[in-house]
DNA sequence: GTAACTCCTATTTTT
DNA sequence: TAGGAGTTAC
């Protein structure tokens, strides 16, 4: 029996997507076509109709936020209590990978409590390693090595597979592949995995232990994948292998693929039907978000892309207001103009109903300034994330080391924070001792205490540090982790160092917030896992101070959001499409920039403002800018003719504006 | 440890 | 060209 509520308020294709029983299903869901709705209803329906038990469906997303939302919505649809909701396998690719790997770590020779390195940990490790190995090459900077290795992992390439890349000289190839290998060795020695490993090590695990793979293949009768267009090679292989024996349903939109620089492959969508010959494809083309005008404008733009499946979004809604284009003198003028428009709209619209979307985060400064000047409340979406803040990482590293003495990376980070006069020299001493004994840095530190390689003052400090770790470790056995955190921050002098500095108000605030977060969890291992995998603690994103604020966001960070009023700014050659994309990526990269523009436009529900400037500060130099090619690709009849001609400011050689082409 | 200096880089950033 | 990171000198 079908409970009708699963199909309530769904259109025909949406209903089909919820009900479809094919072993492979691809839902091509256009922007604003009710994708999340379909996904959650489908999941709820499968459970409700008994097609799968609560632990037999695996749903993967790309962000923790999306996973959380899906879990909540499914739980609400089915009236699940908390313990049942928790049994749902809903999470990110990386979260699921970590879960699997912790369960079967020993197969790959890791401890179950391996540490997860974030990008900055990874970079620090690579830097240290390249210094150690005297791998010095102006081209292969640690930064480039780190990002290349990440990318190779995304593409499913190990140290021995670099021949498949477009690495130029074979001399490089050998050196780099050796370095890559030594990085992997080092990770193993540290009992650590980086983000890429969380996925690729799953594939290794399944190769090595087919019975483990079979276990999960049998368990999961249904596999659901959200934002499928953003899957990279490893993620694709991961889900494909897991889906054997069960049904696979992917939901995505080729027009919203904006992460190819992280390995996402358009091919996954274009070739789905080849890879799964019996696949059914359902298109969701009715848009419930934007006005007809906005839909026509964005559709006209995206039509210029060649590599796409092709969809035509439609709506029964009204035409709505035409798009407005503003030609600004420069970036400051553009920001002032946006501010004026916002203030003009504000009696009708709340600030929170409006958003400014930018290509690069450096553009946000201009708008922050203008908003500040006119007292427009705003919020910058993205920016520095909670878990990436120095004081939070420090605190987490104290906990990490107390939790696992083997965590050398945590040791390195905090051994001299706050300053204990244990600088590079002391660290070297400790490292040598650790290497000699084949142990961790903390063990090395214990050994150093019995030698006389360090001065007496340093030894006292080191002794205190080691003792603090031992005590905190013991405390973790018997008390709540929050008590250990308090002890660590107090007795290490960290708290004092922060308190002494008058300017550190935000630091204190952040540490307090971390403490609140920690007090709500019941096991430290789970907390550390989340700290590694989630860049914001739960609640941070949705925390609402009750103030209505304009959102300033990069285009990337805006995917999945919607606003009644959207300002899409900086539509200039070099910025959108971005110069680097045009120079390096060629036609494919321009298509991605076009998709990015499309994503921005389709965020708007009622009113879409576009703008570009005639002069733009680039690398701190004011340069003439020309209107983006994308503007010409937007159907002219969706755009309001400009009423006023902007006169050039006197002098300074600004070219007179040409007659606009729209 | 800190200040002064030099060098370098300058897109997006789910995990 | 500015701002940050890293280095050197005191």
Is A447:A415 a contact under the CB 8 Å cutoff? no
Residue nearest to nucleotide B11 (CA to C1'): A360
**DSSP H or E stretch at residue A605:** strand A604-613
Q: Which protein residues have a C-beta closer than 7 A to any atom of strand B?
A: A 62-65, 92, 94-95, 119, 138, 141, 195, 227, 230, 258-259, 261-262, 264, 359-362, 382, 385, 419, 421, 423, 533-535, 554, 556-557, 578, 580-581, 584-585, 619-620
Task: Say which residue, A592 or A416, is predicted with more confidence.
Answer: A592
Nearest to A194 by CA among A404, A472, A409, A12: A409
A620 CB contact with strand C at below 7 Å = yes
Residue A138 Cβ < 7 Å to strand C:
no
Distance between the alpha carbon (CA) of A362 and the C1' atom of C2, Å: 13
Catalytic residue among A311, A603, A605, A616: A603
Shortest-distance nucleotide from A227 CA to C1'? B14
pLDDT digits (tens, 9 = 90+) for A136-168: 777 788 888 888 899 999 999 999 988 877 765
Which pLDDT score is estimated for A653? 39
pLDDT digit string, tens, across residues A436-481: 898 899 999 999 888 877 777 788 888 999 999 999 999 999 999 9
Among the listed residues A14, A35, A443, A591, the single catalytic one is A35
Q: Which band of pLDDT confidence, cut at 50, 70 and 90, is reported for residue A659? A: very low
Closest CA to A633 of A653, A655, A662, A603: A662
The pLDDT, as a whole number, for residue A139 is 75
Tell me the nt nearest to A579, Cα to C1'. Answer: B11
Least confident of A22-26, A35-39, A557-561, A652-656: A652-656
Residue A226 confidence class, pLDDT cut points 50, 70, 90: very high
pLDDT band, residue A382 (cuts 50/70/90): low
- Please state, as a whole number, how many other Cβ atoms lie within 10 Å of the Cβ of residue A299: 24
The pLDDT, as a whole number, for residue A545 is 66
Task: Compute the average pLDDT of residues A54-78.
Answer: 91
- Write the pLDDT tens digit of every residue in A67-76: 999 999 999 9
Separation between the CA of A441 and the C1’ of B14 (whole angstroms) = 33
Active site residue A513: no
When pLDDT is averaged across residues A329-343 and rounded to a whole number, the result is: 93
Average pLDDT of the segment spanning A418-446: 85
Helices A233-242 and A210-219 pack at an angle, to 10 degrees, of 70
Residue A655 is predicted with a pLDDT of 42
Which entry of A61, A256, A341, A431 is annotated as an active-site residue?
A256
A661 touches strand C (CB under 7 A): no
Rounded to an integer, the average pLDDT of A223-230 is 94
Compute the average pLDDT of residues A401-409. Answer: 90
Split at pLDDT 50, 70, 90, the class of A232 is: very high
A424 CB and strand C closer than 7 A: no
Would you state the pLDDT for residue A340? 94
Q: What is the mean pLDDT of residues A579-587?
A: 81
At A479 the three-state DSSP class reads coil
What local confidence, expressed as pLDDT, does residue A650 receive? 40
- In the predicted model, what is the mean pLDDT of chain A? 87
A458: phi then psi, degrees, rounded to nearest 5:
-65, -40
User: Tell me: the pLDDT tens digits for A130-139?
Assistant: 877 777 777 7
Q: Which residues in A183-229 belong to E strands, given as ranges?
A: 192-194, 222-225
C-alpha closest to that of A602 among A27, A29, A32? A32
Residue A418: asked if its preceding bond is cis (omega within 30°), the reply is yes
Confidence of residue A652 (pLDDT cuts 50, 70, 90): very low
Higher pLDDT: A50 or A647? It is A50
Residues 6+ apart with CB under 8 A from A301: A594, A597, A598, A601, A630, A633, A634
Based on the number of CB atoms within 10 Å of its own CB, is A46 exposed (0-12), middle (13-18) or buried (19 or more)? buried
Residues of chain A above pLDDT 90, percent: 51
The answer to whether A603 is a known catalytic residue is yes
Helices (H), A88-160: 93-103, 119-132, 142-154
DSSP secondary structure string for all residues of A359-411:
SSGGGHHHHHHHHHHTT--EEESSSS-GGGSHHHHHHHHHHHHHH-TT-HHHH
Nearest nt to the A93 alpha carbon by C1'? B15
Which listed residue (A36, A63, A369, A540) is catalytic?
Answer: A36
A621 touches strand C (CB under 7 A): yes
Residue nearest to nucleotide C1 (CA to C1'): A620
């Amino acid at each position: 029996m079908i409970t009708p509520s699963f199909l309530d308020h769904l259109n025909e294709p949406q209903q089909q997507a919820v009900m479809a029983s094919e072993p492979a299903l691809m839902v091509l869901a256009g922007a604003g076509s009710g994708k999340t709705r379909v996904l959650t209803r489908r999941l709820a329906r499968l459970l409700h109709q008994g097609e799968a038990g609560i632990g037999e469906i695996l749903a993967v997303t790309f962000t923790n936020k999306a996973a959380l939302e899906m879990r909540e919505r499914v739980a609400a649809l089915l009236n699940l209590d908390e313990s049942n909701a928790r049994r749902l396998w809903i999470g990110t690719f990386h979260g699921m990978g970590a879960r699997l790997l912790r369960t079967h770590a020993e197969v790959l020779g890791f401890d179950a409590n391996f540490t997860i390195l974030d990008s900055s940990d990874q970079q620090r490790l690579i830097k240290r390693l390249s210094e150690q190995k005297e791998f010095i090459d102006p081209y292969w900077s640690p930064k480039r090595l780190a990002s290349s290795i990440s990318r190779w992992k995304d593409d499913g390439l190990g140290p021995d597979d670099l021949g498949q890349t477009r690495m130029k000289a074979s001399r490089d190839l050998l050196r780099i592949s050796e370095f890559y290998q030594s990085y992997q060795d080092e990770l193993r020695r540290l009992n650590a995995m980086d983000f890429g490993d969380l996925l690729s090590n799953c594939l290794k695990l399944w190769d090595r232990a087919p019975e483990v793979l079979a276990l999960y293949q049998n368990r999961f009768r249904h596999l659901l994948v959200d934002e499928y267009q953003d899957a990279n090679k490893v993620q694709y292989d991961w889900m494909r292998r897991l889906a054997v024996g069960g049904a696979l349903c992917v939901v995505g939109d080729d027009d919203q693929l904006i992460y190819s620089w992280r390995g996402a492959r358009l091919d996954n969508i274009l070739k789905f039907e080849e890879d799964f010959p019996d696949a059914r494809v359902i298109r969701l083309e009715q848009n419930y978000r934007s006005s007809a005008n906005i839909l026509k404008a964005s559709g006209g733009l995206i039509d210029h892309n060649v590599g796409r499946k092709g969809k035509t979004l439609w709506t029964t809604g009204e035409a709505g207001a035409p798009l407005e284009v503003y030609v600004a003198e420069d970036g400051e003028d553009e920001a002032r103009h946006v501010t004026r428009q916002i203030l003009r709209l504000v009696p009708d619209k709340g600030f929170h109903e409006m958003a400014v979307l930018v290509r690069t985060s450096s553009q946000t400064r201009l708008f922050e300034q203008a908003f500040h000047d006119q007292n427009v409340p705003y919020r910058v979406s993205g920016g520095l994330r909670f878990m990436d803040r120095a004081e939070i990482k420090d605190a987490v590293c104290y906990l990490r080391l107390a939790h696992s003495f083997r965590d050398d990376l945590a040791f390195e980070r905090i051994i001299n924070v706050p300053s204990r006069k244990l600088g590079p020299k002391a660290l070297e001493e400790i490292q040598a001792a650790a290497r000699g004994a084949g142990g961790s840095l903390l063990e090395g530190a214990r050994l150093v205490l019995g030698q006389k390689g360090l001065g007496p003052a340093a030894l006292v400090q080191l002794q205190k540090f080691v003792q603090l770790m031992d005590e905190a470790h013991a405390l973790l056995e018997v008390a709540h982790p929050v008590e250990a955190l308090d002890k660590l921050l107090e007795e290490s002098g960290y708290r004092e160092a922060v308190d002494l500095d008058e300017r550190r108000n935000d630091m204190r605030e952040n540490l307090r917030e971390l403490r609140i977060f920690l007090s709500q969890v019941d096991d430290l291992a789970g907390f550390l896992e989340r700290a590694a995998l989630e860049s914001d603690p739960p609640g941070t994103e949705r925390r609402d101070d009750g103030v209505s604020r304009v959102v300033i966001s990069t285009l990337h960070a805006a995917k999945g959001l919607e606003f009644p009023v959207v300002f899409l700014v900086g539509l200039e050659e070099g910025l959108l499409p971005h110069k680097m994309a045009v120079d390096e990526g060629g036609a494919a990269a321009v298509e991605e920039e076009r998709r990015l523009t499309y994503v921005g436009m389709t965020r708007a529900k009622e009113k879409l403002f576009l703008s570009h400037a005639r002069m733009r500060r680039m690398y701190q130099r004011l340069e003439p800018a020309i209107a983006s090619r994308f503007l010409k690709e937007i159907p002219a009849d969706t755009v309001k003719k400009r009423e006023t001609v902007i006169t050039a400011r006197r002098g300074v050689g600004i070219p007179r504006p040409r007659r606009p082409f729209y």
